[in-house]
Structure 1
Amino acid sequence: MNLDLRTVNVTRYITPLREGGSLPALAEADDDFKYVLKFRGAGHGVKALISEFLGGQIAKFLGLPIPELVFANLDEAFGRTEGDEEIQDLLKFSQGLNLGLHYLSGSITYDAAVNDCEPLLASKIVWFDAFITNVDRTFKNTNLLIWKKELWLIDNGASFYFHHSWTNWGKNAITPFALIKDHVLLPKASLLEEAHQEFTSKLNDTILREIVNGIPEDWLLWDDGAITPDEIKEVYFQFLSIRLSNSEIFLKEAQDARKTLI
């Protein structure tokens, strides 16, 4: 599978998507497609983009339904005519390489009370979110869309939360991830063992290394300079590798959490 991302140049800022805490936006690029842009100048900066990139690439490799990810270049002059000062500042601090997700026009937010999800897909998404420690796919904020009668994953930016403090990452790699109890699809995830068997047979260190090595160097030049880009990549790789090797821990946590729901 080709895990390389296309690179586009943003040509038009259309509108902010204010339901997102990091102020993502709908924008158009020079390939004439529209994208939901995630900005490096937003609250969690490049770390949110790294989470989105790693989560998106892993989801793509596993065959989960996720919109195409692209690298999105923001020119120095872009946004100067924007009237909203908050947005103008966001665009100013986001010059360079950002991340875009293909815009699913006409999609609606997944509602567990109305929309269905077949058990194997639900189980795969629960396993995936436990693997990448995604805290944000809950009943309150599903980060799932229904588009053309199919379910799609969006927004993996709240994953890999260990990297906001960058301490105890080894301990975090083997966490059971108790927050999986709040996952919106957990009640439907009756085939967790099957999802576990499929994904642990697909994922391996070679794939994880390839995905991690795809993080743009530009996103790894952190302000404090205490850790080099290669060292940062190594931590992400080791986190994923250790977590995969110990995946029975979070599998059991999800299974036990589900038993309390049914």
Structure 2
Amino acid sequence: MFIIVKHVDILYKPVGNGITSPLYGSIDNEMYIIKTINGPEGNIVLVNEFVCYHIAKLLNLPIPDIELALIDETTNINAEVWDTEDFSEKCFGLAFCSKYVKNASPLEISLFSITEDLRILISNLVLFDHFICNKDRNKGNLLTTNKSICVIDHSHAFDIGSLWNSVELRRRMTEENCFSSDIMDKNFYYYEDFKDLGLLDMIYLNQAKDNLKEKITEKNLREIIDKIPKEWESDIEKLNSLFDYLKFRLENIDAFVSVILSHLY
């Protein structure tokens, strides 16, 4: 996995929502949502976004393309950005940049026709959320545009988002954690509708499980972890604990299918 670093040409203004204080910016005349280094939630959120993006791509989930790009003294930074309390020269450096999704709005799943493709997508998405322990699937990060679905914003993955460390991740590598219904409970805003519409059944969830087991391997998890920019995280023990945590969840993917199928709202 070879990473090309680009340059942020312009920072326009804050997005206006999200505790990670994302910014609108442009790279090569294309609009991006940009999360800077040394932001209010720290650099772990950039690690989370990077890892989850690459896992989502392996699973063929509809996620916007990303760039890693430098913000520096040659970036044209508007006054609206400088005026925010979360931005200063400490934010100069390598940023996580997600391509802006035009004309997007929160997903209204009831407006979609129930097709095989939709069942496959939703089953893959919900199992993905369980694999990365994402308890923050909501109307701000599941979007639709032109009848297409788009998933964004995984800064709060791995159970505790920006707060994880080696001790906390290893403490969560238990059978009890795998069979917890916490993800189903926290993500009820969409998951309840998915259940009511019959989008999460045994056939499609087992297909999603087989797809994940085929696409996600220890080898490519290690490759993703090894490509995390050192500017964001250089603690080898911490990175190894993230690999071990994901490996553990991969080994227990059957438990997540059981939880999804048995959960009642």
Q: Is the 8 A contact 2:6 2:67 kept in 1?
A: yes
Q: Which residue of 1 aligns with 2:258?
A: 252
**Range with bigger deviation, 19-28 or 107-116:** 107-116
Match of 1:195 among 208, 214, 220: 208
Instruction: State the AA in 2 paired with 1:126.
Output: V
Residues 1:179 and 2:182 aligned together: yes
CA contact (8 A) 1:5 1:69 kept: no
Q: Deviations over 1:71-112 (max 9, x none)?
A: 021104646652565526424231100100111222222123
C-alpha RMSD of the superposition? 2.2
**TM-score normalized by structure 1?**
0.85
Shift of 1:65: 0.8
The alpha-carbon distance between structure 1 residues 73 and 218, as it changes in their structure 2 partners (threshold 3 A), is same
- Pairwise mapping of residues 84-123 of structure 1 onto structure 2 (< 5 A)? 86-87=83-84, 89-115=86-112, 118-123=118-123
Contact map agreement 1:39 1:45 (CA 8 A) in 2:
no
1:83 & 1:207 partners in 2: Cα distance? 40
Looking at structure 2, the residues matched to 143 and 81 of structure 1 have their Cα atoms a distance apart, in angstroms, of 26
Which stretch shows the higher mean deviation, 10-19 or 94-103?
Answer: 10-19
Question: Which moved further from structure 2: 197-206 or 78-87?
Answer: 78-87
The equivalent position to 1:60 in structure 2, one of 57, 60, 65, is: 57
Give the superposition deviation at 1:152.
0.9
> Which residue type is aligned with residue 21 of structure 2?
L
Does structure 1 conserve the Cα–Cα contact (< 8 Å) formed by 2:13 and 2:80? Answer: no
Query: Can you give the 5+ residue segments of structure 2 that lack an aligned partner in the other structure?
Result: none
Aligned mates of 1:13, 1:50 — CA distance in 2: 21
Partner in structure 2 of residue 234 of structure 1? 240
Partner Cα distance (2:15, 2:60) in 1: 27
CA contact (8 A) 1:80 1:88 kept: no
Give the match for residue 146 of structure 1.
144
Distance in 2, matches of 1:197 and 1:83, equals 47
Task: Report how far residue 127 of structure 1 moved.
Answer: 0.3
Measured against aligned partners, the alpha-carbon deviations of 1:106-146 in whole angstroms (never above 9, x if no partner) come to: 222212343467111101000001000111113xx351111
Distance 2:10 2:88 in 1: 12
Once the two structures are aligned, what percentage of the paired residues are identical? 25
Question: Retained in 2: the 8 A contact 1:27–1:36?
Answer: yes
1:127 aligns with 2:127: yes
Q: Which amino acid aligns with 1:189?
A: L
1:52-87 CA distance string (max 9 Å, x none): 010000001111111111102110464665256552
Q: Is the 8 A contact 2:14 2:81 kept in 1?
A: no
Secondary structure, in 3 states, of the residue corresponding to 2:111? coil
Code of the aligned partner of 2:173: A
Q: How far, CA to CA, are the matches of 1:115 and 1:21 in structure 2?
A: 30
Alpha-carbon spacing, 1:65–1:81, altered in 2? closer, same or farther (3 Å): closer
Q: How many residues align?
A: 247
Per-residue deviation, residues 190-230 of structure 1 (Å, max 9, x unmatched): 22122111111221110110011110011114xxxxxxx22
Question: For residues 2-40 of structure 1, what are the alpha-carbon distances to aligned partners after superposition, in whole Å with 9 as ceiling and x for unaligned?
Answer: x444422111112211122222111111x2211111122
Structure 1: stretches of 5+ with no match in the other structure: 222-228
Shift of 1:173: 3.3
Q: Note the 1:40-55 alignment, pairs <5 A.
A: 40-55=37-52
Cα 1:101/1:116, change in 2 over 3 Å: farther
| Counterpart position of 1:137 | 137
Cα separation, partners in 2 of 1:130 and 1:215, compared to 1, 3 Å = same
The secondary structure found in structure 2 opposite 1:87 is: coil
SS at match of 1:161: coil
C-alpha spacing 1:237/1:165, structure 2 compared with 1 (3 Å): closer
User: Is it true that 1:21 corresponds to 2:19 in the alignment?
Assistant: yes
Between 1 and 2, higher relative CO (CA 8 Å, sep ≥ 6) is seen in 2
One-letter amino acid matched to 2:129? D
